[in-house]
Structure 1
């Protein structure tokens, strides 16, 4: 099983609704290790870099308007299969369709205002982490409790 790093963003709606602590707590409670954390304003340039595959699509202007409207909280999280674990925890993109127990299923009613972003592949995670964090902002450290999160053959 692979230890992965992933980018998670608490989007503007999550910041404005004061859900940053709630969302961060869910990822930490699951056992993901926070290796980078910061609040920032997404500029139009940063938005275009992050969502480069969507820039030419008709919905992009609304996406950029949304993501630049208020600060976001960028989280670099690490753990065994962190990408799939985080995406499962987030739930379906549309909060109205997301399963109860997921972040979006419990806290969102919208497709766009869905509180959180998570990288969808190892390649996307690397690209997105490089956009939001410098190497110096990503920390390597041992958690003393890691032996209680997964068996030795799972780490």
Structure 2
């Protein structure tokens, strides 16, 4: 009869420790290989999730946003003034609306009582004329409405809308042609050159009274 071999408990413990040590060593080596491989791998970037509703709204906003028009070299500024007769007769709204309907941008507007010194400086080029004193006295006799306009060719175009100095010679459809009879009551003043436009705006408006703003109808006025 064969004799069964008796296992020593301490031998089991040694074998178990050896097995465990070998397994742990292998696991450590495997972990080290995985770590090294991971370090060589490119980082995974999670895809950006976009809400479909937000995407639609963003697209609509881009479609409806007004086009930005770069100002051309012909962009000008002009000073227009409704004289005391135009204010007294209640034509302020109609006069302003004519320039707005044309498409010029309003960048300054105020009701103003003119000091004599300002009137004299404004009409300084006419100082040698016999009507100079009468003209100054008239402009300071009542409130005026100061208007600052901006747009391509605004100076020449505004002069056409205003009409000839003598209302009797002004074409029908112009401000003076429709609303005036005499030179001394010709309703409105307008700058006669781009240089005078800037000079007169500097006389009648402080810098902080001229407002820079975006006119949203611009894409429908200019290419």
Q: TM-score range by the shorter chain?
A: over 0.9
Residue by residue, what CA displacement relative to the aligned partner does 1:25-53 show, whole Å, maximum 9, x if unpaired? 11111001100001111111011110111
- Greater fraction of residues in helix: 2
Pair 1:117-2:189 in alignment: yes
Counterparts of residues 2-151 of structure 1 (less than 5 Å): 2-151=74-223
SS at the partner of 1:21? helix
Unaligned runs of 5+ in 1: none
Unaligned runs of 5+ in 2: 1-72
Higher relative contact order (CA 8 A, sep 6+): 1
Aligned equivalent of 2:15: none
Aligned structure 1 segments of 4 or more residues deviating by more than 6 angstroms = none
C-alpha distance in structure 1 between counterparts of 2:91 and 2:75, whole Å: 27
Provide TM-score, normalisation by structure 2: 0.66
Provide TM-score, normalisation by structure 1: 0.95
SS at the partner of 1:25? helix
Aligned equivalent of 2:70: none
* Distance apart, 1:77 and its partner CA: 0.4
C-alpha distance in structure 1 between counterparts of 2:140 and 2:84, whole Å: 8
